[in-house]
Amino acid sequence: MSAAFATLSEFRALLAAAPGPDAAALQGARDRNGQLTKPPGALGRLEDLAIWYAGWRGTARPGLDKPQVIIFAGNHGVTARGVSAFPAEVTVQMVANFQAGGAAINQLSRAFGAEMSVQALDLDRPTADFTQGPAMTEAELVAALAAGWQAVNPAADLLVVGEMGIGNTTAAAAIACALFGGTPGEWTGRGTGVDDYGLAIKTQVVAEGLAANPDRDPLQVLRCLGGREIAAMAGAMARARAERIPVILDGFICTAAAAVLAQACDGALDHCVAGHASAEAAHRTLLSKLGKQPLLELGLRLGEGSGAALAIGVLKGAVACHSGMATFAEAGVAAG
């Protein structure tokens, strides 16, 4: 299937036309939740999660058996400035590792029963160094959004998008700072583990990128400061919304991609939950700007969709309880 849009304005129109959750399914799920054999509220956030999931799936008693994990990979021109602890070649090397089944996300996808695929986006053509001007042309941005849109399996019942792109915590910091303001220092962290000198360079590079790219329209921010894998994640999340497939957000980079959609269109992340809070300090700040409370906090700072994949287990647990438990009437338990 070709993407449903050919231009950035068509993509904007799709965001604006995105469906909401099914009101009858939401109400049915709330009613069912109130009848299950447990004290009211005893399953805590699992109850809200199950009701939210039921609304998007359009049924009061949903299953969750077809999660999809997609890893998008892209290269960043800004790596030439020394912003990562690792060389840019690691991106393509890790793509081979994903294909061979050797990365963390391969193990986590298997552990939680998700179908995983990898999409490498023009790795031999890094984006332009954003300190010198826009990272991507509009055609490049639209192509990356479309690659993400097309990678989603419409038959999936849950989506996790992850990324691989050396240098992409710099892009994510620049995007977050452009969208939400504050200083580059507040949004810039150590990523793969840069030392103090590297962190100072990285913060300076983010500041230069913001100065070189003054347009603050959210999709222009994505074009100017983002990368292909970041845009593809945004495209995939937008497609999931169009298909009413719930999404679990991963770490800082994934959340920066999501934030672009949220700022471009009110409510664009209503079908998304935050899987975890990563160890990149700005991730927590970004989640709170988006009004999202993370499900897990495990000190991960990997990306690849790893924290979101772990949260598939939490969501599966929520849905299993919601859809599988007996009601007080069915079990003959006194309702109190």
Ligand X SMILES: Cc1cc2ncn([C@H]3O[C@H](COP(=O)(O)O)[C@@H](O)[C@H]3O)c2cc1C
Q: Smaller CB distance to ligand X: residue 94 or 318?
A: 94
Residue length, the chain? Answer: 336
Stretch near ligand NIO under the rule CB under 6 A, chosen from 29-37, 210-218, 299-307, 319-327: 299-307
Residue 252: contacted member of ligand X, ligand NIO, none (CB under 5 to 8 Å, by partner type): ligand NIO
126 binds ligand X (CB under 6 A): no
167 binds ligand X (CB under 6 A): yes
Q: Smaller CB distance to ligand NIO: residue 127 or 170?
A: 170
Residue 170: contacted member of ligand NIO, ligand X, none (CB under 5 to 8 Å, by partner type): ligand X
201 binds ligand X (CB under 6 A): no
Residue 94: contacted member of ligand NIO, ligand X, none (CB under 5 to 8 Å, by partner type): ligand X
CA 280 to chain centre: 15
Q: Which residue, judged by CB position, is nearest to ligand X in the bound state?
A: 191
Helix-helix angle 23-35:306-324, to 10 degrees: 70
Task: Sheet with 115-120: list strands edge to edge.
Answer: 115-120, 67-73, 158-164, 247-249, 272-274
Residue type (1 letter), 291: G
Q: Smaller CB distance to ligand X: residue 153 or 192?
A: 192
Whole-angstrom CA distances from 275 to 92, 128, 306 are 26, 31, 9
Distance CA 242, CA 156 (A): 13
Stretch near ligand NIO under the rule CB under 6 A, chosen from 46-54, 94-102, 107-115, 247-255: 247-255
Applying CB under 6 A, among 75, 84, 127, 169 the residue interacting with ligand NIO is 169
Scanning 3-128, the segments in alpha helix (DSSP H) are: 8-16, 23-35, 45-57, 89-100, 104-111
Stretch near ligand X under the rule CB under 6 A, chosen from 35-43, 51-59, 140-148, 300-308: 300-308
74 neighbors 232 (Cβ within 8 angstroms): yes
- Site of interaction with ligand X (CB under 6 A): 84-86, 90, 94, 163-170, 191-192, 302-304
